[in-house]
Amino acid sequence: MGKQKPDMIKGTLDMLILKILSLEAMHGWGISERIQQISRNELQVNQGSLYASLHKLTREGWIKSHWRVTENNRRARYYALTRAGEKQLGIEAEHWGRLATAVGQVMATS
């Protein structure tokens, strides 16, 4: 299975998806690739969690989906951020920032 990758912190996948989709609409495979790329392979997205997350976000109304033809002429489901999703991304990013700072401070104490 290769070297150990850090576990994705629970709930962060949703935030990452929202972030990626805030750049542009994307299909599921593209989202996982993009996360992997940007994190320089540090973050591996589990396919099952990815689609579970996508469908959950759709149910919550934060993203919406539509079928479109890719540049390779294949039909794929593209996800895009909704207005509510943008707001949610803001909230989660802010939460995450505070959490990361807090964790960093704790870890920085000698």
Partner 1 sequence: MRWIANVVFRLRAILAPGRMEQELDDEMAFHLEMEARKLVERGMTEEEARLHAQRNFGRMLRNKEKAREAWGIGLVQDLRADARFTLRGLRRSPVFAVVAILTLGLGIGGTTAIFSVLNGVVLKPLPFPNPRQLVAVHHTMPAIGADETPLSPAMYLTFREHSRTLDDIGVWRRRPVTVTGLAEPQQVDAAEVTEGLFPVLGVSPILGRGYHEEDVAPGSTYPVILSQGYWVRRFGSDPDVLGRTIRIDGNELTIIGVMPGGLRLGRMKPELFLPLVFNRANTGVGNFSFPGIARLRPDVTPEEANRDLDRMTVLATEEYPGIPLADLEARRFSTFVRPLKQDVVGGARTVLWIVFGTVGLVLLVACTNVANLFLVRAETRQRDVALRSAMGASQGRLARQFITESTVIGMLGGCAGLLLAFGGNRLLLHMAPPNLPRLEEIGLDPAVLSFALGVSLLAGLLFGTIPVLRHRRGGLAESLKEGGRGTGSSRRWFRLRSFFAMSQVALVLVLLIGSGLMIRTFQALRSVPPGFQRPEEVLTLRLSVPSSEARTADDAARTHQQILEQIRQIPGVTSVGAAGSVAMDGWESWEDVEVEGFPPRPGEAAVHRRLNWITPGYFATLENPLLAGRAIEWEDAYGRRPVAVVTENFAREFWGDPVEAVGRRFRTAANSPWREIVGVVQNVHTTGVAETPPSVIYWPLIMEGMWGISTFTIRDLRYAIRTSRPDPTTLLPETRRAVWRVNPNLPLSQILTLDDILANSMARTSFTLVMLAIAAGVALILGVVGVYGVLSYLVAQRTREMGVRLALGARPADVRRMVVRRGGVLGVVGVVVGLGAAVGLTHLMSALLFGVSPVDPLTYGAVAAALMGVVLLASYIPARRAAGVDPTEALRWE
Q: By CB under 8 A, name the binding residues for partner 1.
A: 27-29, 33, 47-49, 51-56, 58-62, 67, 74-77, 84
CB of 105 to partner 1, least distance (A): 34
CB of 42 to partner 1, least distance (A): 18
What is the H or E stretch that residue 66 is in? strand 63-69
**Strands 63-69 and 26-27: what pairing?**
unpaired
CB of 110 to partner 1, least distance (A): 42
Going by C-alpha positions, the residue among 104, 85, 106 that lies closest to residue 96 is 104
Q: Which is nearer to partner 1, 84 or 103 (CB)?
A: 84
Contact (CB, 8 A) for 64 and 82: yes
Q: Which is nearer to partner 1, 70 or 101 (CB)?
A: 70
